[in-house]
Chains A and B, each alone.
Chain A
């Protein structure tokens, strides 16, 4: 399944790339892409693993850019 997350206040393109790379490394994530311009993160993973992945992804985002709001659509 695919989840779209809105990253409000995402200001730094370099950070977006870092987030993408880090989320891709999580186990169970099939693909992840962060679009700096539309401020969206898209994660594809198995449905069962998704809640855990979302939690981890939020941690990663907060770690790289503490100001960003992580809003699951």
Chain B
């Protein structure tokens, strides 16, 4: 609790005691002088509300007529004038209690938002002149060495020079599994070093580092306001003056007609009490901010309330394939053998390709090592050294000698050449039954000496949650999902089939993607938003063109953070439906608050006009509603 809040709490308690004494005196002492009673109530009134009266006086001087404090003072002074003393004091007291709770709730939510963004490192241990000094991260220059002990937050982006460790990226990605890092790996500021002491060469200054960028982004997200927020601001601008005018009419016209001034002025004063739109003005942005906070806790950075609001309306999703739905790295997905086991086939292929840097070659070696252990022992065997020279045949594949016979790894043309007497065609037609169609991935055929060993199918790998992503999008109301890729037709068809995407466009150049997106935009019906999901590599124009551009794998990629409206920090497309869920729930909370606050206010206005609701109810409609709306808004922080 802040000092100010404590002070206000003391005032409320003192006021309540005095108020109780006043009422007791009025009830218990039968012939109490009316003037003494008035003075007692007036004193209590000033104890409770002196700051409000002072504030109101200041506002009159600057011509801020429709200010809340000012209206409250008018209402209570009015109550005194029509001799409703307890009412006047009670309204002020309730108002203070409500305001206190409101401030308390706002403080609390400010604090939880701050905690949420508590990824800012406080210090860095920098190695200077042979000693380790602790400085502000802002004072560390690029190229300097910093030391990070276990348990400390990584202050700046850099590369590990010495040490191995695992880091907790939870605060940035929402991912609970720690990442293992070693020498040469990049570390990202804001993560927590868990196990080992590491030394890191700083690659970015603090202002440019990931943690600064993310904090900036989240803090500034509220400056791009959602339509609902703008609606509320506009609503507030008209609501107060209208209610005040209504109050004036209510005080004057029926009073002239009936001559019963006290009754109608009382009702009009109740109007003034309800005339502040606070509940709405506070709770709507708070809900959005909470939703954005909840999303960032899950590793989804949303750059503005407007994007969070729009996401719930997403009806068309355009997905990039490579790097978004697939990992963008090759892996062995099928091994077909003839007269040999899988291990043998994979061994020949890996052995032949072991010196190559080609992604496919690397993937063959990795596949072998993952399954059967290291390959290096074999190649380092001196007995094989003579044979291990690799002959590359451009356009065919590679040849290598192994235990006296030639291993050939490559395409069909190479097989035709290696296998004598038309054997290849025979195998192809009778044994493999290979279709004439183009395969979905890359096929490596392997032969040993005169005989065909088999083939290995290599494909780009789907991300584990890609299926879940597409299913989730459909469930959240996305009606049209289109996959775009620069990859070949066959590969696209297969991936689309597995994921259940009916529409895809393959063999696109980067420029074609923009054209396609434009076409889909033109076909789109008026309602609903179009989202584009890419990995942030060379699809910046499309990210910008879509209603909402979502970039994958933002961690460490500045381009993605810059270009997109929403950044998924991890590589998981499954976060997109999750973001949509958070968006929808946030909007639900916003809607509840709007309906609840406006509903209660209108109801109490009506009741007050007919003399059913008292000023007490009016105070509830003002501050009580605001308090409840804030509590409701804070639920958005806990969305998952």
Contact = CB atoms under 8 A, between A and B. Distances in A.
Q: Do A and B bind each other?
A: yes
Nearest to B54: A66
Contacts of B278: 12-14
Given A17-B281, A66-B55, A37 B222 contact: yes
B222 A12 contact: no
Contacts of A11: 103, 106
Interface string A34-45: 011111101000
A40 B68 contact: no
Contact of A17 (B103, B236, B289): B236
A42 B224 CA distance: 12
A47 interface: no
A17 B238 CA distance: 13
A37 B110 contact: yes
Contact of A14 (B4, B58, B103, B281): B281
Interface in B197-241: 219-220, 222-223, 225, 233, 236-237
Contact of A63 (B62, B68, B109): B62
B384 interface: no
Categorize the interface residue count of chain B: 20 to 34
A63 B65 CA distance: 12
A35 B281 contact: no
B285 interface: yes
Contacts of B64: 63-64
Contacts of A25: none
B219 A38 contact: yes
A71 to B, nearest CB: 16
A37 B281 contact: no
A64 to B, nearest CB: 7
A35 B222 contact: yes
A9 interface: yes
A40 to B, nearest CB: 7
B277 interface: yes
A20 to B, nearest CB: 8
B471 interface: no
Given A12-B278, A66-B55, A37 B68 contact: no
Contacts of B113: 37-38
B345 interface: no
Contacts of B286: 36-37
A59 to B, nearest CB: 10
30 contacts: A11-B103, A11-B106, A12-B68, A13-B278, A13-B285, A14-B276, A14-B277, A14-B278, A14-B282, A17-B233, A17-B281, A33-B222, A35-B219, A35-B222, A36-B285, A37-B106, A37-B109, A37-B113, A37-B222, A37-B286, A37-B289, A38-B110, A38-B113, A38-B219, A38-B222, A40-B219, A42-B220, A63-B64, A64-B64, A66-B58
Interface of B: 4, 55, 58, 62, 64, 68, 103, 106, 109-110, 113, 219-220, 222-223, 225, 233, 236-237, 276-278, 281-282, 285-286, 289
Interface of A: 9, 11-14, 17, 21, 33, 35-40, 42, 63-64, 66
